[in-house]
Amino acid sequence: MTVVTGVISGGAGAGAAADEVRDVAELTVRAEAYLRTVAPGAAQRERERELPYQLVRDLAAARLGTFRVPRAYGGPGASIRQVMGFVLDLAAADSNIAQSVRPHFGFVEGLLRSPDEQERRRWFPRVLAGDLFGLANGEIGAPNGVIRTRIRRAGDGYRVDGSKYYCTGTLFADWVSVSAVDEAGERVTVVIPTDRAGVTLLDDWDGMGQRLTASGTTTFDGVRVESEEETRARPVTGPGEPRSHVTAFQQLFLAAVEAGIARNAVADAVWFARERSRPIKHSSATRSVDDPYIQHAVGEMSARAFVAEAAVLHAADSIDRALAAEEPAGLLTTASVDVARAQYLAVESALKSAELLFDVGGGSATAREHNFDRHWRNARTVANHNPRHHKAGVVGAHLLTGAEPPTTGLF
């Protein structure tokens, strides 16, 4: 277990040397250049558990966390579809990095939804400067949804005490969004620097997959919180709250990660069949690429990855339509349903493609040097966040009875 206390590569505003990006086309060019540095070595990093600190800082320095900042605030003003296109490409290069920045993108969406204009004016400049935002919301050892982290008044500010788990990406972040309960029993969200005294970041995530997402523990021991650091830009909603596009966005992000894993598995299958595999003795082919069963396996993998990506982008369009509508309530429900459909398909596609990869080669495909099993482990780990059968059940109930999807962070 690695303990990090106030040691963040570059610190807050680490990316400030790079020029701001105010155009989606320019941001896309930067994304393409960045992605070329990510894919090489991804399998080795995952096999040896080398957390991609520098690559995440490079993402921030290239301003790739600014997609959704509106033009009115100096950002590119990208659509949901455009940002999901980037997430798909990033997950296909390294699904760990893609998932690790999910809280950051969710925080930006929370700002867009916030009723407080001052929050946008406070935090969007930090996003544009290259800062990254993590999330400390989930807790273990208590019933699901119960928050035991406490925030109390202390002079003209607050103090926070508690422990969070599943703090995805926070080891890489400059700021962390923390949920707590105040002295009146009300839920409060604050955003504080990760290098502030009393904040301890633990690299203790031990999942079988997505090993490099920095999803471990963050503890808060009497951490000072300034009054202006309380926020209404919450990236996660609770039961009974109005439906938000933010939760649909967060769930679609996971679907995009799954679809990216499926695409990555296809790429590995094609490479292995062309460069390393050989047909079995009783095959009618002399080369693996000519074996009809290997061709079928690769074709099925490709079809599944294609459908998963198409579903993600279709659901992204649904969210974009809801955001553009004057009366978005009904369209937000449609978007929530579409995201659930996309998640179901993306998970199935990633898991099946990860299995089919081993039909492309014999025993040599299982060699640790290839680390092909990472695709299944990573897809399975992401899928366990929100079991897909619940997604299918909600979609079915909506179609059969008109039941509304839940308004929790899972839909």
What confidence tier does 287 reach under pLDDT thresholds 50, 70, 90? confident
- Rounded CA Rg of the chain: 22
CA distances from residue 64 to 22, 35, 148, 295, 400 in whole angstroms, order as listed? 11, 11, 34, 37, 41
Q: Tell me, what's the pLDDT at 4? A: 54
The mean per-residue pLDDT over the stretch 340-356 comes to 98
Beta carbons of 180 and 160 less than 8 angstroms apart: yes
Residue 358 has pLDDT above 60, yes or no: yes
What confidence tier does 12 reach under pLDDT thresholds 50, 70, 90? very low
Minimum mean pLDDT range among 196-205, 239-248, 299-308: 239-248
Minimum mean pLDDT range among 49-58, 142-151, 268-277, 353-362: 142-151
Name residue 152's amino acid: R
Residue 16 has pLDDT above 50, yes or no: no
What confidence tier does 238 reach under pLDDT thresholds 50, 70, 90? low
Instruction: Find, among 84, 5, 100, the residue nearest to 45 by Cα.
Output: 100
Residue 237 has pLDDT above 90, yes or no: no
Distance CA 339, CA 251 (A): 7
The string of pLDDT tens digits covering residues 43-96 is 999 999 999 999 999 999 999 999 999 999 999 999 999 999 999 999 999 999
Beta carbons of 249 and 410 less than 8 angstroms apart: no
Q: What is this structure's pTM?
A: 0.93
Helix (H) or strand (E) holding 201: strand 199-203
Identify any residues that bridge with 161 across adjacent strands, giving them in sequence order.
150
Q: Tell me, what's the pLDDT at 60? A: 97
What confidence tier does 232 reach under pLDDT thresholds 50, 70, 90? confident
The mean per-residue pLDDT over the stretch 113-140 comes to 95
The mean per-residue pLDDT over the stretch 369-379 comes to 97
The mean per-residue pLDDT over the stretch 251-262 comes to 98
The string of pLDDT tens digits covering residues 165-189 is 999 999 999 999 999 999 999 999 9
Helices (H), 211-291: 245-275
What confidence tier does 8 reach under pLDDT thresholds 50, 70, 90? very low
Instruction: Find, among 89, 91, 127, the residue nearest to 106 by Cα.
Output: 127
The mean per-residue pLDDT over the stretch 90-104 comes to 98
- Helix, strand, coil: what percent of the chain each, to 5? 50, 10, 35
Give the chain's mean pLDDT: 92
Instruction: Find, among 171, 192, 196, 172, the residue nearest to 180 by Cα.
Output: 192
Q: Tell me, what's the pLDDT at 213? A: 97
Domains of the chain: 2-134 (1.10.540.10), 150-231 (2.40.110.10), 245-401 (1.20.140.10)
Q: Higher-confidence residue: 220 or 282? A: 220
The mean per-residue pLDDT over the stretch 203-227 comes to 96
Pick left, alpha or beta for residue 359 (phi over 0 → left; psi -120 to 50 → alpha; otherwise beta): alpha
Q: Tell me, what's the pLDDT at 2? A: 61
Distance CA 265, CA 226 (A): 46
CA distances from residue 366 to 54, 202, 357, 360, 379 in whole angstroms, order as listed? 30, 32, 10, 11, 17
Minimum mean pLDDT range among 119-133, 136-150, 380-394: 136-150
Burial code (b: 16+ CB inside 10 Å, e: under 16) for 316-355 equals: bbbbbbbbeeeebeebbbbbbbbbbbbbbbbbbbbbbbbe
Q: Tell me, what's the pLDDT at 282? A: 72
Residue 14 has pLDDT above 50, yes or no: no
